[in-house]
Structure 1
Amino acid sequence: MPVPPPAPGCQTGDCTVSLTREFKKMKPPVFHGGIEPLKAEAWVLGIEKLFKVFLCTDAQRIQLAAFTLEDDARCWWMLVRDENKDVAWACFLEIFTRNTSRNVYGDRKVSEFMELKQGNKSVAKYETQLTELAHFTPHMVDTDYKKARQFEGGLRDPILDRVNVLKLPTYVDLLDRALIAEGNVANRKQNFEWKGRRQNFNKGKTLTKKKLKSGNSNNIPVVRDFPDVFPDELSGQLVNREIKFTIDVIPGTQPISKTFYLMSIIEMKELKTQLQELLEK
């Protein structure tokens, strides 16, 4: 229901206070300033939505809108207010939008979009950043094919090698395959590191055996650090022993079996995002 304006007979100061008090009750959005086109656009949409039910003149709209400006935005309005005293509401919005979306900022965002690469970011985080910057370059992503090629060009080489050969035409399919390729690359890297640690362990074990055969305990780091425990000369070698290890379960227990299922793109993306956040903590 539209909010009625103050009574016609009230004093100017009292009307302003009453109007501001009623407007404040509607919890209008606040803008702190800076070259932030997305935040400025959200503020304009919020204010316009309130004024559809809060009936007032253009001058009162500007006065109430200025009430929600804080910090740098407030300072900006104090500087330009005198030269824009009697402007219409539409003119105020034009001045405000021009101040919060300068070409320099837009050009910088276009450059960021064109130079964006995945780097060390996850596929999900890279895709989110690409989508945010795409707001400043609508002409470069006006078709699904253009957006897919831009996304593909910024992927890391190990992932790009796996999806490039598929020649996927749609952005959704490309994103899905990139997420799968990312998981495969991570698993392969983990297996490679595990094999490397195992090889290093076997080399260390072989080296220890050779040192024991020489009979000189000073060549073995652990023995050398604790001379009061080990004798100066070791007469024997390490003996390989088998250790039996079992897990007792209730008789008749069957192995747990779960059917594999494919996750949707949205679920996969959310899972990747949560895992990345846990890894970064």
Structure 2
Amino acid sequence: MEKAFELAEVKNEKKMKYASYYLKDEGRYWWESTKVLQEEETISSQNFMEFFLEKYLPSYIQDQLEMRFLDFKQENMMMAEYEVKFSDLERFMPEYVNTEAKKAKRFQQGLKPWIQSQVAFLEIRTFAYVVQITIIVEGEREATKRKYEGKKKKFEDSESEQGRSKFKGKFGKNVSNARQKFQKFKPENGNQKNRF
């Protein structure tokens, strides 16, 4: 809502009227009764937000959201997914992210430890930049991992091939071929004649 007010350049004294205009159904009924009880002339846009949050986002839910936000970690999420979920949660906790530096710091606190260690020394103070850097760090790690796995597979394949070739004779003929040839010279039916 605040972004819409900023875009439309709505002044503070008119924010409440604009916001209340968009209320529908139960929200509309709630606002009409609140205006009567609170004397509409004394309600500021700040009061409106407090009343609205008290009604539709009670303190116990706010407390749960706060704990969820503070405990939120990247864990097994990819960076893009973590950033989306972080942004979804942070909108309920503006006091923790009301400056770029606070937002960047809180985002970094939830990162995987190995990513934290890669970016901490940079002391990044803007959210967009920390997201950009962490995506690069994660991407580089994934590329290195794929490269290592490719080399490992290639090494294992070559070892396997070397294992098979250990049984080849002097001229590269397979041992099983030599056995078959030897079988031809083996005496049959107990006949021990020397063929040489």
So what's the TM-score if we normalise by structure 1?
0.44
Q: CA deviation at 1:215?
A: 6.2
Q: Which amino acid aligns with 1:148?
A: A
Aligned to 1:49: 22
Does the CA-based 8 Å contact 1:158-1:185 persist in structure 2? no
Mapped to 2, the partners of 1:204 and 1:141 lie a distance apart of 55
Does the CA-based 8 Å contact 1:215-1:234 persist in structure 2? no
Mapped to 1, the partners of 2:93 and 2:180 lie a distance apart of 74
Q: Secondary structure at the match of 2:152?
A: helix
CA RMSD of superposed structures (Å): 3.5
Q: Which structure 2 residues correspond to residues 79-228 of structure 1 after superposition, within 5 A?
A: 88=33, 90=35, 98-212=54-168, 217=176
Mapped to 2, the partners of 1:234 and 1:139 lie a distance apart of 82
Q: CA deviation at 1:127?
A: 1.3
Aligned to 1:233: 179
Aligned to 2:44: none
Q: CA deviation at 1:157?
A: 2.9
Q: Which amino acid aligns with 1:177?
A: I
Q: Which structure 2 residues correspond to residues 226-265 of structure 1 after superposition, within 5 A?
A: 233=179
Mapped to 2, the partners of 1:189 and 1:206 lie a distance apart of 25
Which whole-Å deviations, capped at 9, do the CAs of 1:123-159 have from their partners, x for residues lacking one? 1221121111112221111221111111112122332
Aligned length: 149
Closer/same/farther in 2, CA of residues 152 and 97 from structure 1, 3 Å limit: closer
- Per residue, is there more helix in 1 or in 2? 2
Q: Structure 2: where are the runs of 5+ without partners?
A: 1-17, 38-47, 182-196
Mapped to 2, the partners of 1:233 and 1:115 lie a distance apart of 68
* Residue 25 of structure 2, aligned match among 65, 87, 92: 65
Q: Which amino acid aligns with 1:65?
A: D
Q: Which amino acid aligns with 1:49?
A: Y
Q: CA deviation at 1:232?
A: 9.0
Q: CA deviation at 1:120?
A: 1.7
Mapped to 1, the partners of 2:51 and 2:128 lie a distance apart of 39
Q: Secondary structure at the match of 2:166?
A: helix
Which whole-Å deviations, capped at 9, do the CAs of 1:31-67 have from their partners, x for residues lacking one? xxxxxxxxxxxxx95x7237xxxxxxxxxxxxx724x
So what's the TM-score if we normalise by structure 2?
0.61
Closer/same/farther in 2, CA of residues 130 and 234 from structure 1, 3 Å limit: farther
Q: Structure 1: where are the runs of 5+ without partners?
A: 1-43, 51-63, 70-76, 78-83, 218-230, 236-281
Mapped to 2, the partners of 1:202 and 1:234 lie a distance apart of 27
Mapped to 1, the partners of 2:125 and 2:114 lie a distance apart of 20
Percent identity over the alignment?
Answer: 23
Larger Rg belongs to: 2
Closer/same/farther in 2, CA of residues 207 and 107 from structure 1, 3 Å limit: same
Q: Which amino acid aligns with 1:201?
A: D
